[in-house]
Amino acid sequence: MIKLLGKMFGQVFRNQQGARVVVHASETCAECGSLLAQAADAKPLNALWLCPNPDCPAQVRRGLVHWCSPAAMDIAGGDEKLVALLVGRGLVRDVAELYRLRVKELAALPGLNQDSAQKFFDAITASMKREAWRVLFGLGIPSIGAVEAQLFCRHFATLDALFATGRERLMKLTGVTKIMAGSLTHWHGDPVNRKLVRRLEKMGVNFKCAQE
Ligand SMILES: [Zn+2]
């Protein structure tokens, strides 16, 4: 029997039969101790094992790095190092809080100065005008990649209109799968996520889907 040793990610060892075994995932999140889980619709062999706790600092950081990534909101400077500082100091707990940061707060962080703080602040401000599909993709909703986000945005004038649409109606749209529709409505069904969407809109992040 293969015995998985926690926190031995990527290590190779021999099992009781002497066969070489690679530990693909630790059993629990190294940061918050939650049991790792795979997405329900994922193929078990190649899917990532992820921490399911939304309040886990590792998940918060991962969500922020994804939001800032060039493929999503393209906020230059929002890399793992800076995000870890922002979360570690309690300055940012979710993506909406990025839009409340002040240059003064940023400039006081180790490794930053007035110039780099201003640059990061300007990049955050500029991201408010990004296409709405980037916002949708940036939210990190399971099964909603960049392609799926673009597809949803072609069907709706605003993200509000998209989020106000039920699963059954979404499934009838061209190109929208049952998994995509279910994932989106399930995500938006969580009051915490609904509130996050409202806060982002209030901050002035673009929710208008471009008419192509
Ligand atoms: Zn965790």
Please report the pLDDT score of residue 16 as a whole number. Answer: 54
Look at 16-25, 90-99, 120-129 and tell me which has the smallest mean pLDDT.
16-25
Quote the ligand 1 centre to 142 CA distance (angstroms).
Answer: 17
Taking the C-alpha atoms of residue 39 and residue 49, their distance in angstroms, rounded to an integer, is 8
Mean predicted confidence (pLDDT) in 2-6: 37
Quote the ligand 1 centre to 29 CA distance (angstroms).
Answer: 5
Strand pairing category for 12-14 and 20-22: antiparallel
Quote the ligand 1 centre to 39 CA distance (angstroms).
Answer: 15
Residues flanking ion ligand 1, Cβ below 5 Å = 29, 31-32, 34, 51, 53, 56, 58
Taking the C-alpha atoms of residue 58 and residue 188, their distance in angstroms, rounded to an integer, is 22
Taking the C-alpha atoms of residue 136 and residue 193, their distance in angstroms, rounded to an integer, is 12
Q: Does 156 have pLDDT greater than 80? A: yes
At residue 39 the predicted structure's pLDDT band, cuts being 50, 70 and 90, is low
Quote the ligand 1 centre to 146 CA distance (angstroms).
Answer: 25
For the domain made up of 57-61+74-127, the CATH class stated in words is mainly alpha
Q: Where are the domains of the chain?
A: 1-53, 57-61+74-127, 132-203
CATH of 132-203, one of 2.30.40.10, 1.10.10.10, 2.60.120.1570, 1.10.150.20: 1.10.150.20
Q: Does 12 have pLDDT greater than 80? A: no
Quote the ligand 1 centre to 193 CA distance (angstroms).
Answer: 18
Cα-only R_g, the chain: 20
Tokens in use for 146? 């960049």
Quote the ligand 1 centre to 17 CA distance (angstroms).
Answer: 32
Quote the ligand 1 centre to 73 CA distance (angstroms).
Answer: 24
Per mean pLDDT, which of 6-20, 23-37, 94-108 is the most reliable? 94-108
Please report the pLDDT score of residue 168 as a whole number. Answer: 97
At residue 163 the predicted structure's pLDDT band, cuts being 50, 70 and 90, is very high
- CA nearest to 95, candidates 207, 200, 206: 200
Please give the C-alpha separations between residue 51 and each of 9, 31, 56, 59, 153, in angstroms, as whole numbers.
14, 9, 8, 7, 29
Please report the pLDDT score of residue 68 as a whole number. Answer: 98
Quote the ligand 1 centre to 91 CA distance (angstroms).
Answer: 19
At residue 22 the predicted structure's pLDDT band, cuts being 50, 70 and 90, is low
- Equal CATH topology for 57-61+74-127 and 132-203: yes
Mean predicted confidence (pLDDT) in 184-195: 95
- CA nearest to 140, candidates 48, 30, 3: 48
Q: What is the sign, positive or negative, of the torsion defined by CA atoms of 134, 136, 140, 146? A: negative
